[in-house]
Structure 1
């Protein structure tokens, strides 16, 4: 029960940001004293930082939150980014959609407004979204199923990539460092993402503004020259200029008014 409660606290902080102890206690159905002890345990593990009267996810935490929780964070920004990314697709392309939560929103747009495409993916959720959509030919990489990201990874997936070439890659980013390196929490995921970049003519990186200036344990590689970056209106002027300095194309997606 304690492990379930710790997971619930971590997921709540990831989704809602800094939260008071009282609100956490209500969210997980535990006493204030119990939540304080749980927060101490999570802080000692490097998962959370204690702040006055509450807690937040620790900066640089390497503990991954499950796909279902991440899917609903910054949803308005992700949907706006997906609309912009969808506009970059053209009929009869060979497109790779990675397993990220923002890319999943592109898959949902393709389900509503299909066009003739050959779609390749290592994302189980993406494949489930598109498996019966008319006009699409859907190909799924084989490999080890990684629960935390609902993704297929490993040597088998990498070997299959080596036989393929894509017109366009839509790749989500866990983190983008100050010097333009894409990062992932998982080493196998990072390795596979690097090979996706190498096997694509056009690389389109989908990352909401929270991802910039952050790090994760494993480097995918530097943002390729000429890549396209799609982010949201929260991206700072400093970061917009930095991206232009890297000679990357930048699209700023604006969420619809009143979007959740």
Structure 2
């Protein structure tokens, strides 16, 4: 059972964590897990629903499928983990020793960073992701540069004009970019305007560009357009629907599919 700290914000975080770990849960299940009354849980669920973080379902709740509300990085990292790791395996195969690469701050790209850490090759790595950079502490053969700028806590990333100015002086052999959403217009989107602006700059400064997006991101919506998906190669998982596969062909997107059953 989770232990509540007595603060409403702590309890809301515990509810979200429980729903991530367990999927749909009844109000009684949530109350037992958090250690609060049914009346309190009902009020908390109303708050979370109004923020877009959850969907109320008859008798309980679940995490919202198409929410644009950014969740804590550590919680988002756990979602679709098998697909993210499969995508990271394919992305790792695209790497060339002694190249200069940019890794963005997304949770799928983080799985690629973890692979690089345990199967290191000589690379020059640039990133705006604080957690991504931490993966490379004390790893030999890696030259790692972390962009400066304004810290965006929701994504543990650095964004803003200082980060963009730094990109003006660097050229990358490869970019590995995540996406908050892939919309039906064939474009990738972000929930944050500064993140979207920096992502566009990354694309403009890279020779070989890859978007890493698991199938759950497709058909979703976020506020700020980054670029057309066709401006990069796509790496996604094999669970992507046939309808979306046809749309990718229509949009002329070069796509690599990752088999979740493949060994790391």
The alignment's TM-score, normalised by the length of structure 1, stands at 0.93
Residue 258 of structure 1 deviates from its aligned partner by: 10
Q: Tell me the residue number matched to 1:162.
A: 168
Written as runs of structure 1 = structure 2, the 5 A alignment for 1:224-243 is 224-225=230-231, 227-243=232-248
Residue 186 of structure 1 deviates from its aligned partner by: 1.2
Written as runs of structure 1 = structure 2, the 5 A alignment for 1:59-74 is 59-74=65-80
Residue 197 of structure 1 deviates from its aligned partner by: 1.0
Instruction: Answer with 60-69 or 8-17: which moved more.
Output: 8-17
> d(CA) in 1 for partners of 2:169 and 2:22?
42
> d(CA) in 2 for partners of 1:91 and 1:45?
45
> d(CA) in 1 for partners of 2:18 and 2:66?
17
Q: Tell me the residue number matched to 1:124.
A: 130
Contact between 2:86 and 2:262, CA under 8 Å: does it hold in 1? Answer: no
Do residues 18 (structure 1) and 24 (structure 2) align? yes
> d(CA) in 2 for partners of 1:112 and 1:58?
34
CA RMSD of aligned residues (A): 1.9
Written as runs of structure 1 = structure 2, the 5 A alignment for 1:86-165 is 86-165=92-171
SS in 2 for 1:231: strand
Do residues 39 (structure 1) and 45 (structure 2) align? yes
Residue 206 of structure 1 deviates from its aligned partner by: 0.5
Instruction: Answer with 202-211 or 12-21: which moved more.
Output: 12-21
Instruction: Answer with 20-29 or 142-151: which moved more.
Output: 20-29
Which deviations, in whole Å up to 9, do the C-alpha atoms of 1:106-152 show, x marking residues without a partner?
11111111111111100111111113211111111111111111111
Structure 2 gap segments, 5+ residues each: 1-6
SS in 1 for 2:47: helix
> d(CA) in 2 for partners of 1:59 and 1:66?
16
> d(CA) in 2 for partners of 1:36 and 1:186?
30
Residue 29 of structure 1 deviates from its aligned partner by: 2.2
Q: Paired residue for 1:82, among 75, 84, 88?
A: 88
Aligned residues: 258
Q: Tell me the residue number matched to 2:4.
A: none
Do residues 252 (structure 1) and 263 (structure 2) align? no
Do residues 195 (structure 1) and 201 (structure 2) align? yes
Structure 1 residues 220 and 129: alpha-carbon distance in aligned structure 2, compared to 1, 3 A threshold: same
> d(CA) in 1 for partners of 2:42 and 2:14?
14
Structure 1 gap segments, 5+ residues each: none
The alignment's TM-score, normalised by the length of structure 2, stands at 0.91
SS in 1 for 2:135: helix
> d(CA) in 1 for partners of 2:205 and 2:161?
16
Instruction: Answer with 244-253 or 118-127: which moved more.
Output: 244-253
